Amino acid sequence: MSVKPEPSSALFAGPFAVATLSAPDGPAFPALVTPDAQVLDLRVPFGDERLTVRSILEAWDTAAPRLAAWAGDGGLEREPLADFRVHAPVEPRQVFQSGANYRQHVIDLHVAHRAPGDERSEEERRAEAADIMDRRAAEDLPYVFIGLPSAITGPYDTVVLPAWAEKPDWELELAVVIGRPAHRLSPEEALDHVAGYTIANDLTDRATVFRRDMPQIGTDWLRSKNAPGFTPLGPWIVPAESIADPDDLRVTLKLNGETMQDESTKDMIFNVARMVSYASQTAHLLPGDLVLTGSPAGNGMHWGRLLRDGDVMEGSVTGLGVQRTRCVAEAAS
């Protein structure tokens, strides 16, 4: 079961995006999608039946100009997007996830967790937190951990809430898609290695973030973030050239029509270039890899309202489209 996208006058910014689609009962294939919801099967002009979006990203420097040309070629046969199922746009080999990267979100967390005996006003504690965030942006490093590609699902697919997940929560994020191999990049070099951007919802079970048997050993991201389907991705990859400034995009999540998250990527403590650069200092970034840049204020824990059976999440990022996923509770065994 999936929640289909609604028609839009323009699905995304720029002349084209890249997606992974399938016809009913057919295999998935890489597609060029135009803003008026028309689809070009990229296996045809590339002349390769085994083509995938990841293989396109592996040759992004030469592939991108060809895609741009085909987007403007009215002689190529196209079909309506509505005839196809939309999958996650790429199968990454590596997923790098960021935590505590939105200034207002982290300030809210700092204020909410008052230390015993701290009698200062909220205004005083908020000012202290703001100073800490300023120092962190200037002097510290991003917080990055690893996610599993097997947690990724499509942008309109149903999300199964595991029976063991007591506090499932949403975290809408801007996701960076790597287009060139990268290692030990400077921030000034980082954006040259970005093919484009998409949307990710990095679901988290808050009840299992910290180990109950040994909380002193820290976070358990395997358990809390990597259940099947816990990372709805897409609907497509919008080329970096179509996004004027990735550090000035609106990230908005609605739950059953009610806005829960609504913040600009301007509020990120570490911007896109610094996030990509930091991940590359340790790892070799590969074409198709994802760098998730963190989630703004407005998670379920903030509202005291976690995900439950029947909820519909609608996530959008400026210029990147909209994903829409329904939650279904797993039957208890």
Per-residue pLDDT of the chain (333 residues; tens, 9 = 90+): 555 555 445 799 999 999 999 999 899 999 999 999 999 999 999 999 999 999 999 999 999 999 999 999 988 999 999 999 999 999 999 999 998 899 887 787 777 667 778 888 888 888 888 888 888 888 889 999 999 999 999 999 999 999 999 999 999 999 999 999 999 999 999 999 999 999 999 999 999 998 888 878 888 999 999 999 999 999 999 999 999 999 999 999 999 999 999 999 999 999 999 999 999 999 999 999 999 999 999 999 889 999 999 999 999 999 999 999 999 999 854
Pick the last residue of a domain from 86, 113, 134: 86
Domain with 32, as residue range(s), is 17-86
C-alpha span between 170 and 105 (Å, rounded):
14
Q: CB-based contacts of 80: which residues, under 8 Å, 6+ apart?
A: 37, 38, 39
Are both 192 and 305 inside the same structural domain? Answer: yes
Q: Is residue 6 a part of any domain in this protein?
A: no
Sign of the Cα torsion 212, 215, 220, 224 reads: positive
* Tokens of residue 260, six digits: 């829960």
Are both 101 and 40 inside the same structural domain? Answer: no
Q: Is residue 8 a part of any domain in this protein?
A: no
Tally of domains in the chain: 2
Are both 132 and 234 inside the same structural domain? Answer: yes
Q: Is residue 3 a part of any domain in this protein?
A: no
Identify the residue whose tokens are 């990120």: 268
Q: Is residue 5 a part of any domain in this protein?
A: no
Are both 214 and 287 inside the same structural domain? Answer: yes
Are both 165 and 312 inside the same structural domain? Answer: yes
Are both 69 and 126 inside the same structural domain? Answer: no
* CA-wise closest residue to 289 among 204, 195, 207, 210: 195
Q: Helices (H) and strands (E) in the chain — how many of each?
A: 9, 20
Pick the last residue of a domain from 56, 86, 116: 86
Are both 150 and 191 inside the same structural domain? Answer: yes
C-alpha span between 84 and 3 (Å, rounded):
13
